Amino acid sequence: MTDITPPKDPSRLSLALQSDFVYQFKRSPVAVVSFAITLILVLGAVFAPLIAPYNPFDPASLNLMNGFSRPMTPNAFTGDSFWLGTDDQGRDVFSTILYGMRISLFVGAAAVAFAMVLGITLGLLAGYVGGWTETIIMRIADVQLTFPSILVAMLIFGVAKGVTPVEYRDQMAIWVLIIAIGLSDWVQFARVVRGATLVEKNKEYVAAAKLIGRTGPAIMVRHILPNVLSPVLVIATISLALAIIAEATLSFLGVGAPPTQPSLGTLIRIGQGFLFSGEWWILLFPAVTLLALALSVNLLGDWLRDALNPRLR
């Protein structure tokens, strides 16, 4: 965040490194460890094609002879070791996890981004415009909040699946998933932004902006928005952990990422089938990865909330 500083201005970088925020970060072992784990996992997902020893989606590299290899056993053909074993089709579990994490993180991040844009827009409108706009937006938010978000996401997914023609369903599944999780999660953002906007819009700088003739949209985006962003950042981080878990849950239930584009949840769904016959590694490693990812992002969010709110220290 703060370390993205232009190199020609060294004073700002050193300033950022000496800031209270960075000091708090260094002092908290939980924050450092969870940040490190998140970073490693994200880098692993981003550079999956470079790191993964095999491409699990390339049929040419697969061989059924390698199916159900235990962890650390060698490939029957090349002699390379399968670190985390293989699944029924001889796919390297380590590689499928890296690629699966890509999809999990992409869906999670895109869903949160979508929820954030939608929530911020509606929250700003509700807070700044008020009147009927506010009543309608906040009533919809209240109604949606009575239902658990995972249920809302499932319903949206089901309807979207019904609307998509059969031949496009698998291709569209990822995007439908993003929209479903995003739509189930915007309320949090809208509520916080509306609350903060109600406070900000009565401050003098907004009156000054009105006085020099700035229009409503410009005031909302250029003046109020920057001042309501820090709680949004906290919610976004915690939402990311929740979105990753929501995606995994939907995929596990078979109403999410399709087997052709497996996310961590899909991998766990596949692995569950082999648990009874003793092939535990197909399930265990994706599950541990999912847990590590969700837990570290969650802890990071918790820390961020405390760090950005001095009153809690």
**Per CB under 8 A, does 151 bind another protein?**
yes
Q: Which helix (H) or strand (E) holds 238?
A: helix 229-253
**Per CB under 8 A, does 280 bind another protein?**
yes
If you ran DSSP here, which 8-state letter would residue 311 be given? G
For another protein, the binding residues in 234-253 under the rule CB under 8 A are 245, 248-249, 252-253
Count of CB atoms situated within 10 Å of the CB of 150: 17
Give the integer Cα–Cα distance in Å for 160 and 164.
Answer: 6
| Binding-site string for another protein from residue 36 to residue 75, where x marks contact by CB under 8 A and - marks none | ----------------------------------------
Q: How many binding residues for another protein (CB under 8 A)?
A: 33
Residue type, 190: A
| Binding-site string for another protein from residue 288 to residue 307, where x marks contact by CB under 8 A and - marks none | --xx--xx--x---------
Cβ neighbors of 181 (< 8 A, separation 6 or more) are 107, 108, 111, 115, 153, 243, 246, 247, 250
Phi/psi of residue 214, each to 5°? -75, 145
Q: How far is the CB of 121 from another protein (least distance, A)?
A: 22
According to CB under 8 A, which one of 51, 159, 208, 221 is a site residue for another protein? Answer: 159
Residue 197 near residue 228 (C-beta atoms within 8 A): yes
Radius of gyration for the chain, computed over Cα atoms and rounded to the nearest angstrom: 23
**Per CB under 8 A, does 287 bind another protein?**
yes
Query: Token pair for residue 37?
Result: 């784990």
Give the integer Cα–Cα distance in Å for 227 and 113.
Answer: 19
Number of H helices, E strands in the chain: 15, 2
**Per CB under 8 A, does 154 bind another protein?**
yes
Q: How far is the CB of 193 from another protein (least distance, A)?
A: 24
Cβ neighbors of 296 (< 8 A, separation 6 or more) are 33, 34, 35, 37, 38, 41
**Candidate ranges 71-79, 156-164, 181-189, 192-200; the one touching another protein (CB under 8 A):** 156-164
**Per CB under 8 A, does 259 bind another protein?**
no
According to CB under 8 A, which one of 116, 176, 243, 283 is a site residue for another protein? Answer: 283
Phi/psi of residue 223, each to 5°? -110, -50
Residue 124 vs 240, nearer CB to another protein: 240
**Per CB under 8 A, does 212 bind another protein?**
no
> Which is nearest to 180 in space by CA: 145, 142, 141, 154?
154
Q: How far is the CB of 299 from another protein (least distance, A)?
A: 9
Residue 119 vs 265, nearer CB to another protein: 265
Could you list the beta-strand ranges (E) of the chain: 73-74, 81-82
Give the integer Cα–Cα distance in Å for 169 and 162.
Answer: 9
According to CB under 8 A, which one of 51, 64, 76, 275 is a site residue for another protein? Answer: 275
**Per CB under 8 A, does 218 bind another protein?**
no
**Per CB under 8 A, does 161 bind another protein?**
yes
Residue 16 vs 287, nearer CB to another protein: 287
Q: How far is the CB of 146 from another protein (least distance, A)?
A: 5
Site residues, another protein (CB under 8 A): 143, 146-148, 150-151, 154-155, 157-159, 161-163, 245, 248-249, 252-255, 268, 272, 275-276, 280, 283, 287, 290-291, 294-295, 298
